[in-house]
Amino acid sequence: MTERRETEAVPGTAAPSQAPETEAVPGTAAPSQAPQGDEASSLAALEDKLLRVAADFENYKKRAARERAEYVTHANERLVKELLPILDDLERALVAATEHQEAALEDGVRLVHRALAGLLERNGLREIETAGAFDPHVHEALLSQPSDAEEGSVIDVVQKGYRLGDRVVRPARVVVAGPQHGSDG
């Protein structure tokens, strides 16, 4: 049995347990330094990932702010569309009241019209300009008729158009100048 114990203590079997201690020789990397190189690359990868996540988060915040602003702008669009016929009726009533000389009615309707128009304006509603050339993005041509005005220009407004923010809520319904009859030769 003593021989066996001596064979177990043979220098060949003890060498693996001492191998890590013998590798740390001057001029070579110690085993504890090798993982630091891996840790440095791992750290660089994590920093890169962190920067990308931070950039993605900033982009998300900007997109969310843009969507919130757009939502607020268009949140009352349905209400505004329903109020537009009332504004039109008040304008017609003002025209009728002026013709019949009923000053008290005219003042009352004018007051309501001014208040409603102010309310809609404060909520972002703007009237679409109709002077000048026909623009299919904001005008709806109901008919074209011969006129002395330049062909393609708006000569009459049948119904006003409105924008809410940068969006057309209702296009202006207009009459467009067509070619002149006298120029046919």
Q: Which residue type occupies 174?
A: V
What would the pLDDT profile of 4-63 be if each residue is shown by its tens digit? Answer: 544 444 455 444 444 444 455 555 554 454 457 788 889 999 999 999 999 999 999 999
Take residue 109 and report the two structure tokens written for it. 């309707």
* Domain residue spans of the chain: 126-185
Report pLDDT for 142. Answer: 93
Residues making up the chain, counted from first to last: 185
pTM over 0.85: no
Pairing of strands 139-146, 172-178: parallel
Measure the CA–CA gap between 63 and 176, rounded to whole angstroms: 41
Take residue 28 and report the two structure tokens written for it. 């070579």
- Domain 126-185 architecture: Roll (2.30)
- Helix locations, 75-178, DSSP H: 77-99, 103-122
